[in-house]
Amino acid sequence: MAAARVHVIGAGVAGLAAAVALAKRGRAVTLSDAAGHGGGRCRSFFEPRLDRRIDNGNHLMLSGNGAIKAYLDDIGAADALTGPEAAVFPFRDLNTGETWEVRPDAGVIPWSILSGRGRVPGTGLSEYLRGLRLACAKPDDTITRCLGGPGKLFERFWEPLAVGVLNTPCETAAASLLWPVMKETFGRGAAACRPRVAREGLSEAFVDPAVAFLQGRGAEIRFNRRLRAMEFDGARVSALTFTDGTEAVGSGDAVILAVPAWSAADLLPGYDGPQGAQPIVNAHFRLPKAPPPLTAPLIGLVGGASQWVFLRGDVASVTVSAADELAAEGAVDVAGRLWTEVKKALDLDADLPLPAHRIVKEKRATIAQTPQEIRRRPGTGTRWRNLVLAGDWTATGLPATIEGAIRSGNAAAAMV
């Protein structure tokens, strides 16, 4: 469909990606968002209590994330991510104090695992072979059903990885979603799975350059503008009602709805998409001084509530995915519990008092990525000829990640 103007509703990563892809092609774009900023969950802000700029939540990316790389190249932010030259993932067992590193081989054949020198401590070859089950996971298979079993590899690698990627407990998380991630990164060797994080912040990497790119190409960007309703005329959207008034959708115009699943449910008649959600709890601590650099800007944790600790200068940020229990606790209790884990993870003095900190709870961080909810993910197109969907909750074939969000935005732009 040829559109005179494309109305992109939602300036999260998916909406930004769609708008950027359209603006590149010279299309007229209006980008609207209910918040006063872009990025959605992928953003940074200044936290007075820490006197530091922090990310709303922590996001680990890998060098093999092709959509992320292309998007950053497009908006002039190719150097916005940082990470080690080597593909290395440090881990620590909080109960035993053991530390180890996962270092994927340069080629696609994992020779170091086959020989034994690259295995996680206490694990055997048969445990790694279970990973091949992901390639033929059935729609109802969960991570635990697919990868669980005797040995320590599940606890020491698969569980922190899967929970971090899928934000869903392994007992209920869809195994089918982890395979494409492994195939595109670890399955391509070390060059595709170097860990990457935002050098300065998520806004500086994904949002601010995109907004500048769009403004430079004449796009209209309107923040603090919530979409309250859509009007339909037969098989098309005919008007959009925002908090600041109603706007007609021209006969050649198109609409990309790039809002969270629960917002789409309020706007789309007969919505039958994902309904369940999972929380994430992030804790940011300002350390007395920057710790000695690790081999990577993060460390995976086993035996505690946290899955990962990210480091940026003197700020340690903790991520707890699938955090139903922790999200229900008070911020003081959460801070004390996670600070204990940070001290163990970074070998800090056990008596070091709780420093300046900020707890961020996202009760609906992502959809629940269970087999039942995955089947409800909609495609890009809708029954209205000028309305398409974008968002990490749509059927991208990937988990609800930044990579998936960008791909969904690209798909929506291509369909328009």
The reply to whether 301 and 270 lie within a common domain is no
Residue numbers of the domain that contains 318: 47-83+196-200+277-367
Residue 216 lies in a domain: no
Residue 142 lies in a domain: yes
Residue 88 lies in a domain: no
Question: Which one-letter amino acid corresponds to residue 399?
Answer: P
Sheet holding 5-9, edge to edge: 220-222, 28-32, 5-9, 254-257, 387-389
The reply to whether 361 and 399 lie within a common domain is no
pLDDT at 3: 52
The reply to whether 284 and 268 lie within a common domain is no
Residue 179 lies in a domain: yes
Residue 210 neighbours by CB under 8 Å, 6+ apart: 16, 19, 20, 38, 71, 75
The reply to whether 32 and 57 lie within a common domain is no
Residue 399 lies in a domain: yes
The reply to whether 299 and 352 lie within a common domain is yes
pLDDT at 262: 96
Residue 55 lies in a domain: yes
Instruction: Name the residue among 277, 312, 297 with its Cα closest to residue 88.
Output: 297
Residue 41 lies in a domain: no
CATH (domain of 402): 3.50.50.60
The reply to whether 270 and 381 lie within a common domain is yes
Residue 90 lies in a domain: no
- How many Å apart are CA 411 and CA 416, to the nearest integer? 9
The reply to whether 265 and 391 lie within a common domain is yes
Low-confidence spans in the chain with pLDDT less than 70: 1-3
The reply to whether 262 and 381 lie within a common domain is yes
Q: Would you say the C-alpha torsion 85, 88, 91, 97 has a positive or negative sign?
A: negative
CATH (domain of 336): 3.90.660.10
- How many Å apart are CA 13 and CA 292, to the nearest integer? 33
Q: Would you say the C-alpha torsion 88, 91, 97, 98 has a positive or negative sign?
A: negative
The reply to whether 391 and 318 lie within a common domain is no
> Total structural domains in the chain?
3
- How many Å apart are CA 370 and CA 176, to the nearest integer? 10
The reply to whether 398 and 264 lie within a common domain is yes
Cβ atoms 146, 190 nearer than 8 A: no
The reply to whether 164 and 311 lie within a common domain is no
The reply to whether 11 and 27 lie within a common domain is yes
